Amino acid sequence: MSSTTYGVALLGFGTVGRGVYDLLNSKASPIKQKHGADFQVRHILVRNPKNPKYGDIPQELFAEDIGTIIGSGAVDIVIEVMGGIEPARSHILSALKSGKHVITANKSLLAECGCEIARRAKEADLYLGYSAAITGAHQLADSIANSVMVRSLRGVFNGTSNYILTKMDEERLDFDAVLRQAQDAGYAEADPSADVDGIDTRNKLAILTNLAFGIFPAPEQIQTSGIRNVHRKDIEFAAGLGYKIKLVGESLLNADDRIEAQVSACLVPADGLFARARGINNAIEVDDMFRGLQGMIAEGAGANPTAMAIYTDLVNLIKGKPLLWPVVKGSERRVAAHHKLPRRYYVRMEVKNCPGTLGEISRTLGRHGINIGSVHQPEASSQTAAQIVLTCGSAARGAIEKALRDVAQLDEAIGEPFLLPII
Ligand SMILES: NC(=O)c1ccc[n+]([C@@H]2O[C@H](COP(=O)([O-])OP(=O)(O)OC[C@H]3O[C@@H](n4cnc5c(N)ncnc54)[C@H](OP(=O)(O)O)[C@@H]3O)[C@@H](O)[C@H]2O)c1
């Protein structure tokens, strides 16, 4: 690229595509003055350019097909913001093959095919920007990639689930009611599973784990659960113990030098960083043996924050910054199959309201070497059933799950105990 004007093609023109277009066309943008470069949107690819939602965009910008973009000498950079696996993957690979730099916001694609795409970009000596796929955490990307020895990386990576948990907490509402509100407000999709079942968090975690540890976990290597089973009363019980509940993605290095990666609703200290990430905000905390603890809170989604993440990539590209994607092969993955790191747990269970129940539970946990840290039994509202909330001393996930399976078998137990890690 000899010119200081860079031709850009947008694949997709939804929330993020339009955000990027507006940012690059903004009169107030100081891109030229600050960086001596100009980015011009030369082509846009969507399925149906005649859709009235694109009515304000000059029709000549819409490309007939991907071939027009790939074959155009006027396009230097392809920005993929269409989402999904195909045709996004093929379009990106074609763009790289034809010598175009690529920037993508596509978390699910990178979580599935990131290594393949990064390898092709490296082979072709082209830039691959993916800050938008980790929006809200990308501001720490350099620091994470350049760390010497990360011990743990954790974050609240999904704005929708965080919005839901915040509303459940602050307005004392149930999950279903808040989900409906979030859908009406446009914060949640009609099919919310990627957000509330932890899949979006898992995708971001895989990308960040690679950046931090040079290990790219496959989706099935990240134990993943979401927030559907978090009850309003869990939030209330947690508050009584000094915690908030957040959907946390985390990768930790265990004593065997393996990564334990999981996505789960967790109890986090009410006065800590994650608790301060309210609503649609994200938070990230990285513990590096030499740097210590680093953390930040930032917006993790939406047109402007995501467009700004793409802008970060554009600036890095023109500055000649190399691609931040550790080279890994599948065989080099060192992800723990079983989680051994001991940690504390919150357990809520429903039991029969009769004498001796607590003793039976305590004896059963004791047989498995699980220590009870605290017990809370709210005044039973029914003659027959009662709630018991426990915090358990440090134990490996497998050990506590085994112990709780035995607890669930007790005559006094009603249903399955509900378990959340405490951070
Ligand atoms: N939204 C956010 O806050 C956010 C944040 C970070 C990352 N991301 C990522 O950014 C990407 C885009 O998200 P978004 O929210 O902007 O999505 P969106 O609003 O649904 O927009 C998707 C756009 O892509 C177009 N498109 C979809 N499939 C296409 C195909 N096969 N060929 C051509 N065009 C196609 C759609 O065009 P038609 O409408 O004409 O079909 C639409 O213009 C996703 O990978 C997402 O994970 C989003």
Residue-wise pLDDT for 333-376, tens only, equals 489 988 889 999 999 999 998 889 999 999 999 999 999 999 99
Q: Where are the beta strands (DSSP E) in 46-125?
A: 77-80, 101-104
Catalytic residue status for 204? yes
- State how beta strands 223-224 and 5-11 pair: unpaired
Ligand 1 pocket test: pick from 10, 15, 208 the residue with the most ligand atoms within 8 Å of its Cβ: 15
* Tokens linked to 43: 């082509």
| Numbers of helices and strands, H then E, in the chain | 15, 15
Q: Cα of 16 to ligand 1 centre, how many Å?
A: 7
Q: What are phi and psi of 96, to 5 degrees?
A: -65, -40
* Tokens linked to 307: 């467009």
Cα distances (Å, whole numbers) of residue 263 to 120, 289, 386, 407:
29, 23, 29, 25
pLDDT for position 337: 85
329 lines ligand 1 (CB under 6 A): no
pLDDT for position 329: 54
pTM equals 0.94
The structure tokens 């939406």 sit at 302
Q: Which of 100, 167, 204, 244 is catalytic?
A: 204
105 lines ligand 1 (CB under 6 A): yes
The ligand 1 atom at the shortest distance from the C-alpha of residue 303 is 3
Cβ-proximal residues to 272 (8 Å cutoff; 6+ apart), any chain: none
Ligand 1 pocket test: pick from 81, 85, 131, 138 the residue with the most ligand atoms within 8 Å of its Cβ: 81
pLDDT for position 2: 43
Whole-number Å distance between alpha carbons of 139 and 136: 7
87 lines ligand 1 (CB under 6 A): yes
272 lines ligand 1 (CB under 6 A): no
The ligand 1 atom at the shortest distance from the C-alpha of residue 200 is 47
Q: Cα of 4 to ligand 1 centre, how many Å?
A: 28
DSSP state of 335: B
* Tokens linked to 381: 């509202």
pLDDT for position 331: 42
Cβ-proximal residues to 177 (8 Å cutoff; 6+ apart), any chain: none
pLDDT for position 328: 58
135 lines ligand 1 (CB under 6 A): yes
Q: Cα of 227 to ligand 1 centre, how many Å?
A: 25
Positions in the chain short of pLDDT 70: 1-3, 327-333
The three-state secondary structure class of 339 is coil
In order of their start, the domains of the chain are 5-134 (3.40.50.720), 138-299 (3.30.360.10), 343-422 (3.30.70.260)
The three-state secondary structure class of 67 is helix
Whole-number Å distance between alpha carbons of 121 and 65: 22
Ligand 1 pocket test: pick from 10, 11, 16 the residue with the most ligand atoms within 8 Å of its Cβ: 16
